[in-house]
Amino acid sequence: MKEISRRHFLATGGLLTGAVILAPTEGLYATVRASGLSEMSLSRGPILHFNKNGKFKIMQITDMHYILSRAEESNLGITDISNYMDIEEPDLIMMTGDVVYTNMDIRGLEAVLAPIISHGIPFAFTWGNHDGNDLVFRAKLQERVEQESLNEGYTARGIPGYSNFALPILSSIGNKEAAIIYGFDSNKDSSLPQIKGRGWITREQIKWYEQTSVYYTKKNEGVPLPSYSFFHIPLPEFKFAYEDMWTHRIGNRFENIETPLINSGLFLSMLEHKDMVGIFCGHDHDNDFIVNYDGIKLAYGQVTGRKTAYCHMPDGYGTRIIILDEGQREFNTYIRLSKGGTTLHVNTVEI
């Protein structure tokens, strides 16, 4: 069967309203009850720590595009995920959207969850524009992942979106926060009739990030903690950075960088709060570059889905590996490939 091209990946929807999540308090997490999410959303996943060597490994899985009616093809990507985990033994799995492809059957998500749960690795999901035809189903996807004890991504209540969260990584010694992982729901399509194209991370979500960032900075005696963000649709700054002749880019761009037509200001806010080290997205399957833009590293994941997700990359499908060093504002990253081996090794000190 032929691969699905970009023009066939169409979705409908609008800006999320009446959504859900958690707010920082003196505990690591505090959540409030929200209708539509299960009681399990009030619990939290395993505590994340840098290891004794001061390392923390993240495996980014993006654009699985699991299609239940094409399960045999979709399961090729599931096998790959299992193989990647066997080899890499990551500390955290970060899903950056388009986990399922617009089918309204929870069994697609169950298939993607299965190898992660069997390996016993903590995980967090952010949702993409193809994760369900409507927002009701997206809420069901989030409700399902929040039932798992290994889930880290309990979405914050009271702001748009179903995958906004902040995950502290504690120091290798003791229980002091040493880094923060942010997830954002990049939403679906534009909510304004005069603006075409994709949705954007809203002002309410940005305010939540700002409040959370200030909280952890104050708790760290006024020093911003190294922070990393994961979401599906790239910010406009991905395009600005790639087209800037003065930036150092490593990796490939084989398709247009599709961003929202509205710049809602998240990147500026991150610069102002002085905590963000790296931003990781998916969405554009034929891009896998990393670039340093004004001190923040912007990186695509490697498309992980197989025959149900288009890919014209020279090295094919894979997963991005990100290795954090405790106390440092740089990281190492590379792509592990479905066909075997690794490529695009980058120490961000060099860019």
How would residue 302 be classed by pLDDT, with cut points 50, 70 and 90?
very high
User: What are 212-238's pLDDT values in tens digits?
Assistant: 999 999 999 999 999 999 999 999 999
Q: How far is CA 165 from the centre of its chain?
A: 11
- Supply 329's token pair: 């504002």
Instruction: Give, in words, the CATH class of 6-350.
Output: alpha beta
Q: What beta strand segments (E) does the chain contain?
A: 20-23, 30-31, 48-49, 55-61, 92-96, 123-126, 156-157, 165-170, 177-183, 227-230, 249-250, 276-281, 290-293, 296-300, 318-325, 331-337, 342-347
Of 82-96, 126-140, 146-160, the range with the lowest mean pLDDT is 126-140
Task: Answer yes or no: is pLDDT of 248 > 60.
Answer: yes
Q: What is residue 102's predicted lDDT score, i.e. its pLDDT? A: 65
Please state the domain extents for the chain: 6-350
pLDDT greater at residue 188 or residue 50: 50
Cβ pair 334, 328 in contact under 8 A: no
Average of pLDDT values for 124-135? 86
Least confident of 8-12, 144-148, 203-207, 272-276: 8-12
Residue whose structure tokens are 């610069």: 271
Q: What is the pLDDT of residue 179?
A: 97
Contact 54, 325 (CB under 8 A): yes
Give yes or no for residue 22 having a pLDDT over 50.
no
208 contacts 202 by C-beta, under 8 angstroms: no
- Cβ atoms of 247 and 221 within 8 Å: the answer is no
Q: Does the predicted model carry a pTM greater than 0.85? A: yes
User: What is the per-residue pLDDT across 26-38, written as a single tens digit (0 to 9) for each?
Assistant: 333 233 233 333 3
Residue 237 to residue 241: CA distance in whole angstroms: 6
Instruction: Identify the bridge partners of residue 212 per DSSP, sorted by sequence position.
Output: none
